[in-house]
Amino acid sequence: MPATHEVTNQVPPLVGLDVTAADPALAAGLAAAGLGVDDALHALGAAAGSAEIIEAARQANTHAPVLRTHDRTGRRIDEVEFHPAWHTLMDRAVTAGLQAWPWDPDAGDQSHLRRAAGFYVWTQVEAGHLCPISMSYAAVPVLRHAPDLAAAFEPALRARNYEFGLRAPATKAGLLAGMSMTEKQGGSDVRLGTTRAVPDGAVDGGYRLTGHKWFTSAPMNDLFLTLAQAPEGLTCFLLPRVLPGGELNAIRLQRLKDKLGNRSNASAEIEYDNAFGHLVGEPGRGVATIIQMVTMTRLDCVLGSAGGLRAALSEATHHAARRVAFGRELIDQPVMTAVLADLAVESWAATLTALRLAQAVDAQIDDPAEAALLRIALPVAKFWVCKRAVPTIAEALECLGGNGYVEESVMPRLLRESPLNGLWEGSGNVTALDALRAMRRSPDSVSALLGELDPATGTDACYDAALRSLKEMLPTAGADVPEATARPFASLAARLFAASRLLRLAPPEVAALYCATRLGAIGDRVLGELPAGYPARDIVAATTPEGQPIG
């Protein structure tokens, strides 16, 4: 017995949970596409909940990366040093095929959806290291605009080998890629970019780049897709960090950002000092070329936010099922039950939305309607799901009381990370405007969206009424859509998209509560403000394994 007091009513850490098995929304989203939860996903879920990996995530965020610009003799090395825990996480992610593996012709059917499920599970461990993973995944379709480069680099991008370090790409069995677009004077409006590219007379398709990039995440990766002003206009290039002979390309890491969010990953300011780049796609068509990378990383933003939401919900319910206040477990205090039910409903919605988008990535190869759906559903989902992560994770943190405010609880890390997905790869206004642009430029995206939403009518009055409102917002032929309607449109479209999935795939009480609170006539509300008559406790029980022993 300790000298002063015995510790009681403190909740043990959430360790030993199979993150995959505990998630009915994940299973429902996969089943909707005809997939089961396979052994690989269970193994990943078990690893994600293991003490070893949770500890690696903590260490990777405690020991931040360190920029080393020069070696002891004063020569530039432009390298970032990471704690071994970072490499553990990276290795697991790459060997699980969360990077470019789905692009492998032998990856099998629905490889993007299967990879999305893994990404969603694994992001619950630690979000920072999934940034380089995500960018490597997204780089492949862009690289294919330059078949020679794709032939040279794609196999190692797809390979499940993690090889850190400054070596020529051709000598590595595994490669990772990044993207470098944002400059000081503009991130959303990349047309403002001032980095210049001039043809390198000595190499066919080679250019020399001079300029800066204000944000380049994961600067330790091997290859970077970037935009620069060529004589023909803004153009896409691929820059290797190390040149074929082994010498460093002239990509200078100026400093690492001291940023909100995870502490594990590095984001750098860089300068190109006559750096060598390969042309990718047509000169002057840089935005059109790199846009596929943006699309794929946006998918990961939605998956990442859905994963963050799910992780926060698991922590909140785990705590509430074990902490007693005023005579009973928090989970059974009616006001807390309502909060948890509301978190559960948000998590269901985010998960099913994200998985449906990943399903469309696979299906679009054979089905133009799925490609059209992605053009509009992806920006609206990114707008909504990534924004919802912030208040939802904050509310989940509060479920743990003061313990939730302490780093050891993991909740501060989840909260700090939560605004990022909404911001990068198109912040809220920009993605909402992208949805309007999709409507204007490809009317088939509107038909594809309605093709998704219409079949869910007839069971919920709130849903039906909200869909009628959305249709009133659609442009009539030839008319322009006012930009000011971008946010209301994106918000309503995303909520309807989520509800249409819930009505088909979730327990009826989850769908009904979502429609009543996110589509009904209830005005501004905070989480946990539920209308009377919904079985909140059943919703919590059906969504989380709480009340049952873990491990």
Ligand X SMILES: Cc1cc2nc3c(=O)[nH]c(=O)nc-3n(C[C@H](O)[C@H](O)[C@H](O)COP(=O)(O)OP(=O)(O)OC[C@H]3O[C@@H](n4cnc5c(N)ncnc54)[C@H](O)[C@@H]3O)c2cc1C
Interaction site with ligand X (CB under 6 A):
178-182, 186-189, 215-217, 259, 261, 267, 420, 423-425, 427-430, 433
Is the CB of 251 or the CB of 316 nearer to ligand X?
251
Number of residue whose CB is nearest ligand X = 187
Cβ proximity to ligand X, 15 vs 423, nearer residue: 423
Task: Identify which of residues 330 and 436 has a Cβ nearer to ligand X in the complex.
Answer: 436
* Backbone dihedral angles phi then psi of residue 219, each to the nearest 5 degrees: -70, -5
Work out how close the CB of 423 gets to ligand X at its nearest, in angstroms, rounded to a whole number.
5
User: What's the min distance (Å) between Cβ of 522 and ligand X?
Assistant: 27
Q: Which is nearer to ligand X, 88 or 267 (CB)?
A: 267
Residue number with CB closer to ligand X (303 or 519) = 303
Which residue, 175 or 433, is less far from ligand X as judged by CB? 433
H or E, element range at 493: helix 486-505
Burial 121-142 (b: 16+ CB within 10 A, else e): bbbbbbbbbbbbbbbbbbbbbb
Closer to ligand X by Cβ: residue 271 or 538 = 271
- Report the C-alpha gap between 48 and 50 in whole angstroms: 6
Q: Residues 413, 407: contact at Cβ < 8 Å?
A: yes
CB 336 → ligand X: shortest distance, Å? 33
- Which region holds residue 496: left if phi is over 0, alpha if psi is between -120 and 50, else beta? alpha
Question: Strand pairing partners for 224?
Answer: 178, 239
Least distance to ligand X, CB of residue 322, Å: 34
- Residue 67 C-beta: closest distance to ligand X, Å: 15
Report how far residue 321's alpha carbon sits from residue 337's, in angstroms, rounded to the nearest whole number: 10
Question: Could you give the CA distance from residue 148 to residue 279 in angstroms, rounded to a whole number?
Answer: 11
* In the complex, minimum distance from the CB of residue 490 to ligand X, in angstroms, rounded to a whole number: 12
For ligand X, the closer CB: 99 or 317 = 99
404 and 318 Cβ atoms separated by less than 8 Å:
no
Terminal CA-to-CA distance of the chain, rounded, Å?
27
CB of 428 to ligand X, least distance (A): 6
> Which amino acid makes up residue 192?
L
Closer to ligand X by CB, 216 or 517: give it: 216
Q: Which residues contact 334 (CB under 8 A, 6 or more apart)?
A: 536
9: left (phi over 0), alpha (psi -120 to 50) or beta: left
Q: How many CB atoms lie within 10 A of CB 292?
A: 17
Cα–Cα distance for residue pair 96/104, rounded to 1 Å: 14
In angstroms, give the least distance from the CB of 435 to ligand X.
Answer: 13
Q: Work out how close the CB of 432 gets to ligand X at its nearest, in angstroms, rounded to a whole number.
A: 9
Q: Contact, 260 vs 208, CB < 8 A?
A: no
Least distance from ligand X to the Cβ atom of residue 187, Å: 2
Sign for the pseudo-dihedral over CA of 536, 542, 547, 551:
negative
Would you say 188 or 442 has its CB closer to ligand X? Answer: 188
